[in-house]
Amino acid sequence: MEYRSRLKQAWTIAKIELGRAFFSKRAFWVYGLALLPTIIFFFHGVQMKIRRQSLSSGGFVQPVLLESAREGETAEAVIQRLGKPHWDFEYPRHRMVSPQGKASGITIHNIAPALEARYIRLNIRVPSYNGDPNARIREMEVYGGNDSVNLALSRPATGSAPCSAAEGPEKAFNGNANDRWCSHAVDKYLQVDLGDIHEIKRVVIKHASAGGEDEQLNTAFFDVQASIDNKRFVRMVNGTGSRFIDEITAVRTMHYSDGRREAVFGFEDGKLVSKKINMLMNFEEDRQIFAGIFQYFYLRLAIFFGCLGIFMNLFRGEMLDRTLHFWFLAPARREVLLAGKYGAGLIASIVIFGGGALLCFGVLLLMQNPAEVQAYWQAAGWAHAFWYTTAAALGCVGYGSVFLAAGLLLRNPILPAAVLLGWEAINGFLPVMLQKLSVLYYLQSLCPVPAPVDKNMPALLQLLLNPAAPASHAGAICGIIGVTALVLWVAVLAIRRMEVSYSTEA
């Protein structure tokens, strides 16, 4: 049979197979992959348009005024010059800060005027700052007129139930801060009998951190009471472990826009401290983002896995359905069958992924300022669109052949996918000769805008993401076609030897 009629036969096969390639239930997720960037850019654009709409409601300010705000200016001065902001948020910002110097965990409470008492009682209201339920007191000292005589030292002590036998109330009055009284009763208290009525001038309490424990375990709230008859108590101290200081700052942010940009001024205690001016629609930046998404997501993942779904299914799907023998019983060479199926897969994947790339690019442009888009389009835009679409299409050509061959040679799609993904990932480190055996290497060379690379990234990773020496466009196209031809040749060898055996397949 001559060449032309074989070609016609392959085309007939491709037409029959288009249904499988486009609408296979096993590969519907391919559409999700192809359309994801479009959806992201669409919502990004819509979001920005809504924001601009809402910023425009109060009228825009002059661009010069937007830049005139200086640090240290008061909010009032800014309002006077720029007018009422579009958005104005004001709120107090609380911040818990540690007091200057390391907190010792010791609180000293002077009693003035002095109070006469025999029984001194410490009531723990909130035992800790971090929610720990146990009260911890290292030492409690009571002083009268003489600062050197601790009236409570070694006096009989009582208290709520201790955490353990070794942590009884007497530990708080033994003159040693290395041990402690601990209690987890509901009403936590500690009491000492001074033996006689004394004039009380000062109470010193050593909390958890005075014994080396965490600051947050210091008593948060407590009070100290005094009594003469151990019946009627007078409160003489209200206290906290005073670990933290609550710092309150009046924070205010004001949003202004000149129609193209949005300025956010941040004030603290009435003074301007930060100024951010962002483009509402940053065409330049969005194009960079597109370049990044295209290289990192679209080429590396979406087209890769999309081709896996479409092309592996062409033969493997028929084996699972037990319908492959119908093709093998047709009066067609196996190569022609392969060509037909590859053609169907190519048409489907190029329409899906080339179309997806073009659609995303279109959405990107559609959302921007028309004047900017016009200028870009006349300069480089159409070429960018062309090369993005070409790269996507050639990605389908290359990956398609690889997965078509994999579908013939292997039953499990995970294995070739993992191997290939690994190969493409380490490709940047391989000798130049081997780099040329990668689909991604050529695809990256075709991308019109190099993907943005974070300069903080390790050099190794940067190398991995961008080819060191990209091929020329013609070279890249020839390279992909070369790789594809090689892989398809392997596929032809495989399909010639292929046998129908469903029994082991099931």
Partner 1 sequence: MIPQTVEFDEVSKFYGEVLGVNHVSLSIPPGITSLVGPNGAGKTTLMNLMTGLIHPDDGSIRMRGLSPRDPENLMRITGYATQYDASPRWATGFNFISTSLLLFGYSRAEAEEKAWRALQQLRLTEAAHRKIAAYSKGMRQRIRLAQAIAHEPEILVLDEPLNGLDPLVRAETIALFHQWAAQGRHVVLSSHVLQEVDVISDQIVLISNGMVVAEGKIRNVREEIHERPSQFIVRCRNASRVASVLFKEDHITEVRLNEDRMGLLVMTRDREQFSRAISRIALDGFGIDAVIPADENVDALYEYLIGEGR
CB of 383 to partner 1, least distance (A): 41
Phi and psi at residue 123, to the nearest 5°? -100, 125
Give the torsion sign (CA, 404, 410, 412, 416).
Answer: negative
- Type of residue numbered 422: G
CB of 344 to partner 1, least distance (A): 14
CB of 331 to partner 1, least distance (A): 4
- What is the closest distance, in whole angstroms, from the C-beta atom of residue 310 to partner 1 in the complex? 17
9 vs 368, beta carbon nearer partner 1: 9
Note the residues at the interface with partner 1 (CB under 8 A): 1, 5, 8-9, 12-13, 16, 19, 321-323, 325-326, 328-334, 336, 496-497, 499-502
Using CA atoms, how far apart are residues 146 and 139, in angstroms rounded to an integer?
Answer: 19
Task: Kindly tell me which of 109 and 334 has the beta carbon lying closer to partner 1.
Answer: 334
Q: How far is the CB of 498 from partner 1 (least distance, A)?
A: 9
**At closest approach, how far in Å is the CB of 333 from partner 1?**
5
- The pair of structure tokens assigned to 161 is 């139930």
Q: Between residues 36 and 498, which has the closer beta carbon with respect to partner 1?
A: 498
CB of 24 to partner 1, least distance (A): 10
What is the C-alpha separation between 196 and 70, in angstroms, rounded? 68
User: Min. distance of Cβ 329 from partner 1 in angstroms?
Assistant: 5
**Nearer residue to partner 1 within complex by CB, 77 or 330:** 330
174 to 151, 160, 213, 226, 489: CA distances (angstroms): 12, 18, 19, 20, 91
Residues 395, 398, 403: CA angle, nearest 5 degrees = 110
Which lies closer to partner 1 via its Cβ, residue 331 or residue 431?
A: 331
- Beta bridge partner(s), residue 209: none
> How, if at all, do strands 188-207 and 233-239 pair?
unpaired
Nearer to partner 1, 244 or 315 (CB): 315
What is the smallest separation between the CB atom of 334 and partner 1, expressed in angstroms? 7
By beta-carbon proximity to partner 1, the closer residue of 320 and 481 is 320
* Nearer to partner 1 (CB atom), residue 26 or residue 260: 26
Q: Kindly report the three-state secondary structure assignment for every residue of 135-154.
A: EEEEEEEEECCCCCCECCCC
Between 45 and 317, name the residue whose CB sits nearer to partner 1.
317
CB 338 within 8 A of CB 324: no
**CB 417 to partner 1: min, Å:** 25
Neighbours of 304 (CB within 10 A): 22
When the beta carbons of 331 and 458 are compared against partner 1, the nearer one is 331
Pair 428, 435: CB distance under 8 Å: yes
Q: Single out the residue of 284, 330, 299 nearest to residue 446, CA to CA.
A: 299
Residue 6 beta carbon to partner 1: minimum distance, rounded to whole angstroms: 8
The one-character DSSP state at 471 is P
Burial of residue 441, with CB atoms counted within 10 A of its CB: 0-12 exposed, 13-18 middle, 19 or more buried: buried
* Residue 15 CB partners (closer than 8 Å, separation 6+): 344
Six-digit token string for 422: 């690994």
If the CB atoms of residues 283 and 328 are measured against partner 1, the closer one turns out to be: 328
Distance set, CA 388 to CA 44, 295, 296, 348, 500 (Å): 20, 10, 13, 18, 40
Instruction: Return the amino acid letter for 439.
Output: V
**Residue 441: both structure tokens together:** 């290497």
